[in-house]
Structure 1
Amino acid sequence: MESVLSYLFYFLASIFLIYALLQFRLGIYFLRSFFYGSAVKQNSLGVFPKVTIQLPVYNEKNVVLDLLNAIENIDYPRHLLQVQILDDSTDETSSLISIFIKNNNLKTAFEHICRDNRDGYKAGALDAALKQSTGEYIAIFDADFIPPKDFLINTLPYFKNKEIAFVQTRWGHANEGLSILTKIQAFALDMHFTVEQEGRYFSGDFIQFNGTGGILKKSVIDEAGGWSSDTVTEDLDLSFRIQLLNYKGVYASDIICPAELPTTIEALRIQQTRWIGGGASCFNKLNKKVLFSSNISRSKRFFALVHLFHSSMFLFLFSMLLLSIFSSIFYSSNYEPVGFIASLIFTFSLLSLIFIYGIGFWIGNKRKIGDFPKFLFCFLLFIALNFGMSLNNIIAIINGYRKKVLVF
């Protein structure tokens, strides 16, 4: 029994060690990006193309009017702008939208699209609206986002490069200081939008369209097969299918779209269920397409698979932790070598996490050394929050691989 547990532990430890090294790699690429600049240079916008802005909304009565006002103030010729409000709401959100459109002297023509059902959820709404869209490019903003006035002016020039299919901007945090919970979320998201996104972009790996705060070329959406509702992370799914066609995405870290962070544990739990379970379902769906793609180099395929598998790593980490605890309790006398190796792996992994979250915290947000207490506070609470949500995340991963629909 002990030998079986030892082999199992070494297997899990090897996987987690590889994962820590790969995350460390992204940190190095992020630092190179910071010191040497972006891989793609932005040009000025010469010709103004037709653009469709899509606003998927579901029961967002507290934030939807802020979004609509931001779109009303966006800087772009109105005769070249189509705005679709994709409203699947079942509460008073729909009434608020109707009143806003009717009672304001607007320069923007808003199309209020309401479906009879929520088939396909957000992906279904986007797919249905795409058929009615007239723009050459599709910009998407969730209800809790506030796009800057110059969003289109700054993102569209990237499409002068015909290989570019989408542009993803960095998320900001409109309510970061509201509570400890929002501060921890901002801390975690900042690492993703600095180290992970910028690191992958600079290295030439596949990057992710995050579903909002970005803009895509409509013809490429169609070429890639459109929006698919067989996973709740339809953004990750589509962005990978696009890049498998040898198109590229741009991560524009200098363009920031502020957004509202979840303010309750329950709202965060639902969000994490979607992201983590959806990531697992995307790996389940796309791993063979990535592995056997003839358009992509072997190294890029490998790192794309690692990216898709990212959320599933939580299952291995949690299993290794449980195995370590079980082994130390029941086999303490003969388990010292495994315990020593466990200590080494956890120490290296912890240092790797401190490295990537540290550079995301300081360099990605231009903070000072004196902010170390704030970093330590957020880092420790972030680790605690993740362990507190362990069971929820593991269930989400398992359901993702079982192709069980995650309702939200």
Structure 2
Amino acid sequence: MPEILAFILLGIYLLGMVFIFIYSLAQGHLLLFFFKEKRNPQPIPSNPSELPQITVQLPLFNEMYVAERLIEAVSKLNYPLDKLEIQILDDSTDQTKELIQEKLKEFPTINFQYIHRIDRKGFKAGALKEGLEVAKGEFIAIFDSDFIPDPNFLLQTIPWFSDSKVGMVQSRWTHLNQHYSLLTRLQAFALDAHFLIEQMGRNRQGAFINFNGTGGIWRKETILDAGNWHDDTLTEDLDLSYRAQRKGWKFIYRPEVESPAELPPIMSAIKSQQFRWTKGGAECAAKHGAAVLKTNLPAHVKIHAMAHLFNSTIFLAILIVSLSSIGVWWLVDQQILGPGWIQLASFSLVGFAIISLIYLVSYFYRKQHFFKSLFEAIFLLPLFLSVSMGMALHNTQAVMEGLTGKKSPFIRTPKFNLEGGKFSLRSNQYINLRMPITTWLEGALALVFIGMVVLGIFQQNYLFLPFHLMLAVGYSLVFISSFKSYALGR
């Protein structure tokens, strides 16, 4: 019986490692097409002879720290004023309403349309849908409140719609406050990989990509043809993207068009954002997975669509591998399992190497000082991987809720605007003060893996020492950062 239990435990561990390995192969395939795009990029089309009517939508909800900055930025968009409409879709219940209305008085010549909803039905998706009903533009650009659109954004993206089959053009997010703290640097490290390797790799081979919720522009016809905005998932952007592409619309991703945005500077805000993205992604996987498989799309498109939709389940695999590794370590230490069994899983370490390579390639993209960047990468990469593993418990909860259909409200990520020194972190009124039980569990796991590191050294059983050390660091940093951010307003 002990041997049967040992093999069951080993099987769980190996299953998780195989899943991570398969995931890494899909990511590695995207890396190959990223390099193809870099070697032979698509030629940029010229502007049409007659510019179309465009509506810019700005969905806001209680954004007193960034609303004025956003209005200031969109007022500088380089586009004929007679063909530009800017909708402010404001669901605010605080003083943001008054701030916006007062700010708009500074721009009497710009066609700002202020739309305020009393009922926040459908959250962001509901606001976008309501604005679309009265939008005069043939094309719809969308920016969240923490973005500062490039003045030439519209002129850079509109030429790609010369192909009547193109339904959406997505720009690359860049970061206003990347160097604010270690947390913002780690977020930039992660997001750059998505906006370079993943988006470019998918787009190059004709696989599905996603509108990222902001920093993109849609053909209005595409939104309507795909069934308009739905509010049955927390990621209305990913949902509409898959409905539109399944109907045959082409999406374009342009890395040279940059959309600067603010990164959440505290862990509670990061977790709020991560939970919404992760759960919403799982909800879209449950909603679209089977439908994608039933289409007559090419095999590589289906494979990458499934990898894309279910990519958040990587956190479930990491949690399973992390917890089961404790039991496997004990089985080897007690000589119930021989080390040879564990060597079967060594091939899966190739997966971690591929994933590390992807983040390193995106990190060095456009870096000018190689050796300085190399030292930074040597520091950031293991720390990023550790913190990512430390987020596994939090994100696994989101994945399970998304896959099982448990509903929750759309909780927007609080914005801060700390760079200019006008606002302080401690005075922010949008910080959530309630610490969830998962934070305490992260603290407990930090202690567990610290204990495993100490025990491994004491027992001279170094089987999982690097892995457990990274988990100890990751869970410790996530717990401490979470505790500090939840305690900010106390």
Which band: TM-score by shorter chain?
Answer: over 0.9
Moved more, 73-82 or 269-278: 73-82
- Superposed CA deviations along residues 191-246 of structure 1, whole A, max 9, x for unmatched, are 11111111111121111110100000111111101111011111111111111011
Query: Structure 1 residues 365, 165: closer, same or farther in 2, change over 3 A?
Result: farther
Structure 1 runs (4+) deviating above 6 angstroms are none
Q: Note the C-alpha offset of 1:274.
A: 0.7
Q: Which residue is equivalent to 2:138?
A: 136
Match of 2:24 among 3, 20, 32: 20
Find the aligned partners of 1:156 and 1:214 in 2 and give their Cα distance: 11
Q: Which residue is equivalent to 2:123?
A: 121
Q: Which residue is equivalent to 2:447?
A: none
- Superposed CA deviations along residues 82-101 of structure 1, whole A, max 9, x for unmatched, are 11111111221111101111
Q: Which residue is equivalent to 1:362?
A: 364
Matches for 1:4-403 after TM superposition, within 5 Å: 4-38=8-42, 41-102=44-105, 104-294=106-296, 296-330=297-331, 332=333, 333-335=335-337, 336-345=339-348, 347-363=349-365, 365=367, 368-403=370-405
Q: Secondary structure at the match of 2:258?
A: strand
Moved more, 363-372 or 351-360: 363-372
Q: Note the C-alpha offset of 1:331.
A: 5.1
Q: Note the C-alpha offset of 1:365.
A: 4.6
Q: Note the C-alpha offset of 1:165.
A: 0.5
Q: Secondary structure at the match of 2:70?
A: helix
Cα RMSD (Å):
1.5
Find the aligned partners of 1:94 and 1:200 in 2 and give their Cα distance: 40
Q: Secondary structure at the match of 2:134?
A: coil
Q: Note the C-alpha offset of 1:311.
A: 1.1
Gaps of 5+ in 1: none
Q: Is the 8 A contact 2:170 2:253 kept in 1?
A: yes
Find the aligned partners of 1:47 and 1:368 in 2 and give their Cα distance: 44
Q: Is the 8 A contact 1:169 1:213 kept in 2?
A: yes
Q: Is the 8 A contact 1:324 1:342 kept in 2?
A: no
Q: How many pairs does the alignment contain?
A: 404
Find the aligned partners of 1:155 and 1:88 in 2 and give their Cα distance: 28
Q: Secondary structure at the match of 1:176?
A: coil
- Superposed CA deviations along residues 290-341 of structure 1, whole A, max 9, x for unmatched, are 01113x2232112111111111121112212221222212454133233223
Query: Structure 1 residues 81, 117: closer, same or farther in 2, change over 3 A?
Result: same
Find the aligned partners of 1:364 and 1:322 in 2 and give their Cα distance: 39
Q: Secondary structure at the match of 1:30?
A: helix
Query: Structure 1 residues 365, 143: closer, same or farther in 2, change over 3 A?
Result: farther
Q: Which residue is equivalent to 2:423?
A: none
Q: Is the 8 A contact 1:9 1:323 kept in 2?
A: yes
Q: Note the C-alpha offset of 1:286.
A: 0.4
Q: Is the 8 A contact 1:174 1:259 kept in 2?
A: yes
Q: Is the 8 A contact 1:72 1:107 kept in 2?
A: no
The aligned amino acid for 1:299 is H
Find the aligned partners of 1:85 and 1:366 in 2 and give their Cα distance: 39
Find the aligned partners of 2:131 and 2:369 in 1 and give their Cα distance: 42
Q: Secondary structure at the match of 1:45?
A: coil
- Superposed CA deviations along residues 350-372 of structure 1, whole A, max 9, x for unmatched, are 21122101110113555524311
Q: Secondary structure at the match of 1:256?
A: strand
The aligned amino acid for 2:38 is F
Query: Structure 1 residues 338, 120: closer, same or farther in 2, change over 3 A?
Result: farther
Q: Note the C-alpha offset of 1:405.
A: 2.6
The aligned amino acid for 1:24 is G
* TM-score for the superposition, normalised by structure 2: 0.80
Q: Is the 8 A contact 2:226 2:244 kept in 1?
A: yes
Moved more, 225-234 or 323-332: 323-332
Q: Note the C-alpha offset of 1:79.
A: 1.4
Q: Secondary structure at the match of 1:172?
A: strand
The share of aligned pairs that are identical, in percent, is 37
The aligned amino acid for 2:30 is L
Q: Note the C-alpha offset of 1:60.
A: 1.3
Query: Structure 1 residues 364, 393: closer, same or farther in 2, change over 3 A?
Result: farther
Q: Note the C-alpha offset of 1:65.
A: 0.9
- Superposed CA deviations along residues 156-193 of structure 1, whole A, max 9, x for unmatched, are 01000111100000001011111111111111111111
Q: Secondary structure at the match of 1:178?
A: coil
Moved more, 334-343 or 72-81: 334-343
